Structure 1
Amino acid sequence: MNFTSSFPSLTRDGLFSGSAVSPLWNVLAWLAMLLGAVLRLYQWWAGGSFWVDELALVRNIADRPLPQLLFAPLDYAQVAPPLFLFLQKVCWWLFGDSDRALRVVPLLASLALLPLMLAVARRVLDARLVPLAVLTLAISYEYVALGGQAKQYAGEVAAALFITWLCLRLQQEQTSLRWKVGAALAGVVVPLFAPAAVLVLTGCGAVLLGLAMRHQSAVARRETAGIVTVWAFGSLVALLWAHAVISPNTQRYLRWFWQEGFLSPNAHLPAELLHLLTDRYNKVFGWPRPHLWVWATVLGAGVLSWRRHTVALVLLAPWFVAIGAALLQQYPMQQRTMHYLLPSLTLCFFAGVEGLLVRVEDGAGRLFAAGVALGAAVPLLLSINAERLPPFQQQNVHPLYSALAQARRPGDAVYAYYGAGQSLLWYGPRLGLQPATYQLSGCHRGGGGSMRAYLRELDAYRGRARVWVVFVHGHGQEVPTLEAYLDAIGTRRGSRLEGRRRMPGPYYLPPPYAQLYDLSDTARLARASADTFSIPVVPANAAEQHWGCYGPHQALKSR
């Protein structure tokens, strides 16, 4: 399947085949991978406790027998691919239920994406730019953090790169029948580990089939059609499994939760896509003035399409499939659900730089070309700061609960905001906080005065001199309103106990903490009650009221 006879440097065997690699650029690329591996291992080791979204999946893995884990709808509005769940269950059997044990699979996937990025970059880029492409993923805060979260998203990035490499090799080289059979079977296994692989297989398979129809012999066309057919079968199996093991309620909840990630076919679509890309460049890569780099990436895609149109098709086809899926309301393009698409963007950006390198080498000479290559490193250098280095901790509640267990006296009351439910049920018994020792609040979302239900729950503690209040994973104005009410009717005692939170840039979730209150002062208690205290005016929202309490933060089982 060789469509690149005009590029003889792209026809060598091996995982890292591609353009000729000088020792210097090869060493730099491996150093970039080594740096990425060190960052990921450090994140895995020091990443702290699970946060609520991880716990919602982890509790399914720990509490269920394997058949029920794989073939029944998951609790807490969770969905995950079967092979990922199976491997997580194996880690739980072998290593126990520690934070690190249940992050081994994402860690390995995050480590694997580094050599996979190297393999793909060598087939796309000039050797001088390969280290920069690898370094982009190696130091990206989001990709480092994914390797320390007990979720499937790191696997989706690795799977997308693996499929891209398969497709490029099938496109660029004459491969053996055994290798083609292996490539076909990979299309059955990979979607069971990473659902987004279905979109990548669809795009890459369409490209391979289209090119085969135009350029290959009848025998080669049949081989390509066979590979793509097996990929289609694997994708269909993964889709049917996903449909069979998701409950109708969870399906409706996820459609509501990810509604902003679904696109609309209107005149604003280009601007919406531009906003998505700008947001991802800013938050995932941390490149300053991200809109400039987005336009540079678009230009790079054009350059790559002109110079190596078949390679450009392989990189960009999954994007068109993903956009189509989002337009059809089938798979969202937002935040972590589009991480698997971003490596192809970085390759397009550096392909644009490569096009410029070729022009200046022909004109201004190699010294100026070296300057252009160094200039391509500018956004990476500007993105590096202490804030974007691990460890990243979203809700490190373990030290908070440990301190609370030590500070709590016999007879102390503990009121826990419902966002703390998942973590208290998981970590509490290990630290001496049994469910009988605290009251978990209800979930009262939806606006229209629904927050008063929290205040009524707090009123049950009037007259008590020691009441601990625990806040984790606050939503909207709920926690500030509860704090204001407690300050009106009671007095804070001592410093608050805090969990750790370390994330780059502004983050929408406040750090978890616990505060001791004295609610025994009758004069202060007379100042307000649940029915008279002024609360923020929040318009009633039926969808929020219905689905806001259904998701992963709901500690009780929901389907």
Structure 2
Amino acid sequence: MTGSEEPMAGNERPRLRPPAGIDPLRLATLLTLALGIGFRLADALERRSFWVDEASLALNVMSRGFTDLFRDLDLAQVAPPLYLALVRGSFLLTGPSETSLRTVSLVTGILLLFIMVSLARMLVGRGAPLLVLAVLAPMPWLIRYSNEVKPYIVDIFAAALLLWLTARVLSGHRERWSLPLALFLLPLVSLPAIFCGAGVLCALVVHHGRGALRERTVWTAAAAWLLGSGLTFLFTKNPSQTAWSLHYWEGSFAFRGLADGYVQRFLAFYAELAFVPPPGLRDVRAPWLIPGAVVLVGAGVVHLWRRGQRALLLAMLVPVLAGLAASAAHRFPMAPRLWMWILPSYTVLLAAGVFLLLPRRTGWVTPAVVLLLWAVAFGPRARWAYYQSHSPAHDRIADRVLAELDHQRKPDEPVWVHVRGSAEYLAERVRTPEDGAALRALLLASSPGGPLYRNDSVMRPVDAQTEPLLTWRDGGGPVLLARSSAMRERDQHPVTSLDPDWARTEAARIRTAADPCAWTFMIDALPPEREGLLAALAASGGRATWRLDDRGTLAARWCFARERTRGTEPAS
């Protein structure tokens, strides 16, 4: 009789059992973890084009030294200084590419899965890691944020790490230096870590009770949090409080946009599991969805309360209240971003609620298996459909234009690469001559050897509503005009300013570092802080493609050169 068969009773056939030493639950957890890592690595290998905020932040990282990253950023960007330093270090170590700029986010996105496994096991129970991974591993938002030059995934990771360290301290582990060190460093990497740190301090005070003021751990943690938060505030207060920034986030401050932001963003996380809305969750405003989420989270609160995690529940709740208070004071927009850094707490509470409401034997098996099947069965097909749903069929127009250009290109001309990325950010409206003028500047921008589009018919949709911003010198190549009659003011500032001297300087500064990068950005009415982005890109050489969407509006995509012909320079 083999080790995998049970003894026979009477005429019964032998029953198979798992081989000794193999834990099915552990095996399923490891497979789900590997699946999540695979999704993130596959997405990184696609090397998607950067969208406008990535492009703007990456320009700051590539064009500044480490000390300059601690000053106000250009192009209307705000980011924690230590995060920028990490991205800059990755960029210098591995060379200029999309991958090097996104390495910090990719590593953080993978580490987030490991932290959540440990946190779920510590707070809920043995089966919780599989349930939490089945939710987070295939989540499209997390996969996308793990491959962006933005600190969004770092915000989620910082919240999870602080919650994990706090849970260890409250359970009796001696974290003499790790928790204070995290409370000092994480605010320098993630702005929401300031609010999460406030929750940690409240949990420590409640845990120690009346003797909290005599505890060295509490004082050390408080000092570290105040120092890290104060430094971050000094580095970010100016750009985050400009008139344009406050106007931009006007609709996102509590409490005006809170409900809409919560429903559209936070609940959409769980409505897009495995890249597609599961049956019954296609409408995130389904009347039962919010009550259902409230019931599960409430059950999770009860479950953790029974397990003696009352102080930790306070650490989960205080950051939400602190963030909303800052937003109500009109200083920190929370509605669209709140769901990011409360995601670890929310997911743990959902898992705890499932364990409380469902029978013990099916508390983790049923939902985990269902979610895992969604990820495996629908993931690849739905992932393709997810990106295609944001790329209208009119992309074929741009593909035909590119094919024609490739056919006509001479052997000695530069080689250009067109990167198809997630196009949800590209369908911007071109309704005014000013918008059309900015678009025309991009479409007419050329390689050093001549104009980009040789077929004049390509420009006809734009010609009807714009005035030329570029003139053409003998031999081809654009000459940027400092001003044009089409550059009228809107909202007390021009849409963009193509100053040739500034553009040449900016192009020379970013050309070497940015050549291997492909950029995707919107054509929109840019604020003064972003006026230089279009000029710098247009002056540094590249390829722009366009398409019409279903509404007849224009969108453009810009790609830098992968290679250049020797001896050629952008036109001046």
Question: Shorter-chain TM-score: what band?
Answer: 0.5 to 0.7
Residue in 2 that maps onto 1:319: 320
Paired amino acid for 1:304: G
Residue in 2 that maps onto 1:262: 253
Residue in 2 that maps onto 1:350: 351
Given the alignment of the two structures, is residue 135 of structure 1 paired with residue 134 of structure 2, yes or no? yes
SS at match of 2:332: coil
Distance, in Å, in 2 between the alignment partners of 1:131 and 1:148 is 24
Q: Deviations over 1:200-231 (max 9, x none)?
A: 111222222233225x5764x44323313322
Paired amino acid for 2:294: V
Residue in 2 that maps onto 1:548: 525
Distance, in Å, in 1 between the alignment partners of 2:295 and 2:219 is 33
Given the alignment of the two structures, is residue 211 of structure 1 paired with residue 207 of structure 2, yes or no? yes
Q: Is the 8 A contact 1:209 1:225 kept in 2?
A: no
Residue in 2 that maps onto 1:11: none
Distance, in Å, in 2 between the alignment partners of 1:207 and 1:315 is 9
Distance, in Å, in 2 between the alignment partners of 1:204 and 1:247 is 25
1:187-226 equivalences in 2 (<5 Å): 187-213=183-209, 219=214, 221-226=215-220
Given the alignment of the two structures, is residue 110 of structure 1 paired with residue 109 of structure 2, yes or no? yes
Give the drift of 1:329: 2.2
Q: Is the 8 A contact 2:75 2:530 kept in 1?
A: yes
Closer, same or farther: CA 161–432 of 1 in aligned 2, 3 Å: closer
Residue in 2 that maps onto 1:33: 33
Q: Is the 8 A contact 1:262 1:327 kept in 2?
A: yes
Distance, in Å, in 2 between the alignment partners of 1:97 and 1:230 is 35
Paired amino acid for 1:353: V
Distance, in Å, in 2 between the alignment partners of 1:205 and 1:189 is 15
Give the drift of 1:545: 7.4
Q: Is the 8 A contact 1:32 1:131 kept in 2?
A: yes
Residue in 2 that maps onto 1:522: none
Residue in 2 that maps onto 1:302: 298
Paired amino acid for 2:139: S
Give RMSD over aligned pairs. 4.4
Residue in 2 that maps onto 1:365: none
What TM-score, normalized to structure 2?
0.63
Paired amino acid for 1:54: E
Residue in 1 that maps onto 2:503: none
1:400-549 equivalences in 2 (<5 Å): 406=406, 431=416, 466-467=455-456, 469=458, 483=461, 542=491, 548-549=525-526
Given the alignment of the two structures, is residue 72 of structure 1 paired with residue 66 of structure 2, yes or no? no
Give the drift of 1:351: 1.4
SS at match of 1:76: coil
Give the drift of 1:37: 0.9
Closer, same or farther: CA 262–218 of 1 in aligned 2, 3 Å: closer
Closer, same or farther: CA 96–229 of 1 in aligned 2, 3 Å: same
Q: Is the 8 A contact 2:180 2:225 kept in 1?
A: yes
Q: Deviations over 1:136-164 (max 9, x none)?
A: 11111111111211221121111111011
Give the drift of 1:92: 1.9
Q: Deviations over 1:288-343 (max 9, x none)?
A: 42454543332233223333231432333322222222222222234456422223
Distance, in Å, in 1 between the alignment partners of 2:493 and 2:349 is 40
Q: Deviations over 1:414-438 (max 9, x none)?
A: xxxxxxxxxxxxxx987499xxxxx
Give the drift of 1:407: 5.1
Give the drift of 1:131: 0.6
Closer, same or farther: CA 56–449 of 1 in aligned 2, 3 Å: closer
Give the drift of 1:189: 0.9
What TM-score, normalized to structure 1?
0.65
Distance, in Å, in 2 between the alignment partners of 1:335 and 1:351 is 25
Give the drift of 1:165: 0.5
Distance, in Å, in 2 between the alignment partners of 1:457 and 1:173 is 63
Please, which moves more after superposition, 229-238 or 303-312?
303-312
Closer, same or farther: CA 157–371 of 1 in aligned 2, 3 Å: closer
Give the drift of 1:53: 2.2
Distance, in Å, in 2 between the alignment partners of 1:371 and 1:240 is 47
Paired amino acid for 1:116: I
Paired amino acid for 2:325: G
Q: Deviations over 1:480-514 (max 9, x none)?
A: xx738669xxxxxxxxxxxxxxxxxxxxxxxxxxx
Paired amino acid for 1:44: A
Residue in 1 that maps onto 2:51: 51
Residue in 2 that maps onto 1:237: 231
Give the drift of 1:233: 2.3
Closer, same or farther: CA 295–143 of 1 in aligned 2, 3 Å: same
Unaligned runs of 5+ in 2: 1-21, 419-427, 446-452, 466-484, 496-523, 538-572
Q: Is the 8 A contact 2:115 2:160 kept in 1?
A: yes
Distance, in Å, in 2 between the alignment partners of 1:330 and 1:404 is 50
Closer, same or farther: CA 117–375 of 1 in aligned 2, 3 Å: closer
Given the alignment of the two structures, is residue 282 of structure 1 paired with residue 271 of structure 2, yes or no? yes
Distance, in Å, in 2 between the alignment partners of 1:432 and 1:27 is 42
Distance, in Å, in 2 between the alignment partners of 1:304 and 1:555 is 49
Residue in 2 that maps onto 1:333: 334
Paired amino acid for 2:125: D
Give the drift of 1:556: 3.8
Residue in 2 that maps onto 1:19: none
1:370 to 340, 362, 369: 362
Distance, in Å, in 2 between the alignment partners of 1:270 and 1:98 is 39
Q: How many residues align?
A: 427
SS at match of 1:555: helix
Give the drift of 1:109: 0.8
Q: Deviations over 1:380-406 (max 9, x none)?
A: 64574435437969899x999986864
Paired amino acid for 2:58: V
Paired amino acid for 1:466: N
1:184 to 172, 180, 183: 180
SS at match of 1:50: coil
SS at match of 2:255: coil
Give the drift of 1:36: 0.9
Distance, in Å, in 1 between the alignment partners of 2:302 and 2:120 is 18
Residue in 2 that maps onto 1:513: none
Residue in 2 that maps onto 1:6: none
Paired amino acid for 1:256: H
Distance, in Å, in 2 between the alignment partners of 1:304 and 1:297 is 10
Distance, in Å, in 1 between the alignment partners of 2:44 and 2:401 is 21
Give the drift of 1:456: 9.5
SS at match of 1:56: helix
Residue in 1 that maps onto 2:94: 95
Q: Is the 8 A contact 1:350 1:376 kept in 2?
A: no
